[in-house]
Amino acid sequence: MRTRAWLVLGVPVAWAIGSAHFQAAAPAAAAGRPALQGQAPGAHPRNVVFILIDDLRYDGMGFVQPEVKTPNIDRLARGGAYFPHTLVTSSLCSPSRATILTGRTTRNHRIVDNNDSSEEGLVFFPSYLQRAGYQTAFLGKWHMGQTSDGPRPGFDKWVSFMGQGEYYPREGLNLNVDGRRVPQKGYITDELTDYALEWLRKQRDPRKPFFLYLSHKAVHTDPLPAPRHAHQYDATALRIPASAANTPENYRGKPMWVYNQRNTWHGVDFPYHTDVKMTEYLKGYYATLSAVDDSVGRLLDYLKDTGLERDTMIVFTSDNGFLIGDHGLIDKRNAYEGSIRIPMVVYAPGLVPAGVTNPGRFSTLDLAPTFLDLAQVANPPQFEGHSALPLWTGRVAAGDWKPEDFVYEYYWEWNFPMTPTTFAIERDRMKYVQYHGVYDIEELYDLAQDPDEMRNLIDDPSQLQTKIALRKALFEKLADARGQRAVPFTGRFSRGVVRRNRGASGAAPFPDAWLVEPNRPDRFDDLFPDSEAKLQAEREGRPFFPLPPSARRQ
Ligand SMILES: [Ca+2]
In order of their start, the domains of the chain are: 18-23+42-408 (3.40.720.10), 521-554 (no CATH)
- In whole angstroms, what is the distance from residue 220 CA to residue 93 CA? 10
Number of Cβ atoms within 10 Å of the Cβ of 486: 11
> DSSP of 335-362, one letter per residue?
SSHHHHEE-EEEE-TTTS-SSEE----E
Measured CA distances, 72 to 25, 289, 311 (Å): 29, 11, 19
Ligand 1 centroid to Cα of residue 91, in Å, is 7
- In whole angstroms, what is the distance from residue 63 CA to residue 282 CA? 17
What is the DSSP pairing of strand 157-160 with strand 135-140? parallel
End-to-end CA distance of the chain: 55
Number of helices (H) and strands (E) in the chain: give both, helices first. Answer: 14, 20
Ligand 1 centroid to Cα of residue 96, in Å, is 8
What contacts 25, CB < 8 A, 6 or more positions away?
none
The secondary structure of residue 500, as a DSSP letter, is -
Ligand 1 centroid to Cα of residue 87, in Å, is 13
Ligand 1 centroid to Cα of residue 12, in Å, is 33
Ligand 1 centroid to Cα of residue 235, in Å, is 28
Ligand 1 centroid to Cα of residue 413, in Å, is 15
Ligand 1 centroid to Cα of residue 447, in Å, is 24
> What's residue 27's pLDDT?
33
- Whether residue 391 contacts residue 398, with contact meaning beta carbons closer than 8 Å, is answered with yes
Measured CA distances, 80 to 87, 99, 159, 196, 205 (Å): 19, 25, 28, 22, 27
Vertex 488, ends 482 and 492: CA angle to 5°?
155
Ion ligand 1: residues, CB < 5 A: 54-55, 93, 319-320
What is the DSSP pairing of strand 81-82 with strand 344-347? antiparallel
Ligand 1 centroid to Cα of residue 375, in Å, is 27
Ligand 1 centroid to Cα of residue 259, in Å, is 23
Ligand 1 centroid to Cα of residue 158, in Å, is 20
Ligand 1 centroid to Cα of residue 67, in Å, is 23
What contacts 1, CB < 8 A, 6 or more positions away?
9, 84, 357, 359, 451
- Before 222, cis peptide (omega within 30)? yes
User: Which stretch of DSSP H or E encloses residue 81?
Assistant: strand 81-82
Ligand 1 centroid to Cα of residue 230, in Å, is 22
Ligand 1 centroid to Cα of residue 533, in Å, is 45
Ligand 1 centroid to Cα of residue 266, in Å, is 14
Ligand 1 centroid to Cα of residue 202, in Å, is 31
Q: Is 18 exposed, middle or buried (0-12, 13-18, 19+ CB in 10 A)?
A: middle
Walk along the chain (554 residues) in steps of 10 and give the mean pLDDT of each run. 32 28 31 43 71 98 97 98 98 96 97 83 97 97 86 97 94 95 97 98 96 98 97 97 98 98 98 97 98 98 96 97 98 98 97 97 98 96 98 97 98 96 98 98 98 98 98 98 94 96 96 95 96 97 86 62
HSE-CB of 103 using CA atoms within 13 angstroms: 24
- In whole angstroms, what is the distance from residue 488 CA to residue 107 CA? 9
- In whole angstroms, what is the distance from residue 35 CA to residue 26 CA? 11
Listed residue (346, 345, 338) closest to 321, CA to CA: 338
Listed residue (9, 4, 12) closest to 352, CA to CA: 12
Ligand 1 centroid to Cα of residue 322, in Å, is 8
Ligand 1 centroid to Cα of residue 325, in Å, is 17
Number of Cβ atoms within 10 Å of the Cβ of 536: 12
- Whether residue 246 contacts residue 328, with contact meaning beta carbons closer than 8 Å, is answered with yes
> What's residue 223's pLDDT?
97
- In whole angstroms, what is the distance from residue 334 CA to residue 255 CA? 12
Ligand 1 centroid to Cα of residue 164, in Å, is 9
Number of Cβ atoms within 10 Å of the Cβ of 523: 15
- In whole angstroms, what is the distance from residue 78 CA to residue 304 CA? 15
Ligand 1 centroid to Cα of residue 145, in Å, is 15
Ligand 1 centroid to Cα of residue 345, in Å, is 18
Ligand 1 centroid to Cα of residue 331, in Å, is 9
- Whether residue 354 contacts residue 79, with contact meaning beta carbons closer than 8 Å, is answered with yes
Ligand 1 centroid to Cα of residue 278, in Å, is 18
Ligand 1 centroid to Cα of residue 56, in Å, is 8
- In whole angstroms, what is the distance from residue 113 CA to residue 264 CA? 19
Ligand 1 centroid to Cα of residue 319, in Å, is 5
Ligand 1 centroid to Cα of residue 551, in Å, is 52
Ligand 1 centroid to Cα of residue 53, in Å, is 8
In single-letter form, the type of residue at position 439 comes to: Y
Listed residue (323, 296, 242, 331) closest to 59, CA to CA: 323
> What's residue 502's pLDDT?
96
Ligand 1 centroid to Cα of residue 219, in Å, is 9
Ligand 1 centroid to Cα of residue 220, in Å, is 7
Number of Cβ atoms within 10 Å of the Cβ of 449: 10
What contacts 334, CB < 8 A, 6 or more positions away?
91, 323, 410, 419, 422
pTM of the model: 0.91
- In whole angstroms, what is the distance from residue 110 CA to residue 78 CA? 38
Phi, psi of 537, deg, nearest 5: -60, -40
Ligand 1 centroid to Cα of residue 519, in Å, is 49
Ligand 1 centroid to Cα of residue 216, in Å, is 10
- Whether residue 79 contacts residue 347, with contact meaning beta carbons closer than 8 Å, is answered with yes
- In whole angstroms, what is the distance from residue 466 CA to residue 209 CA? 47
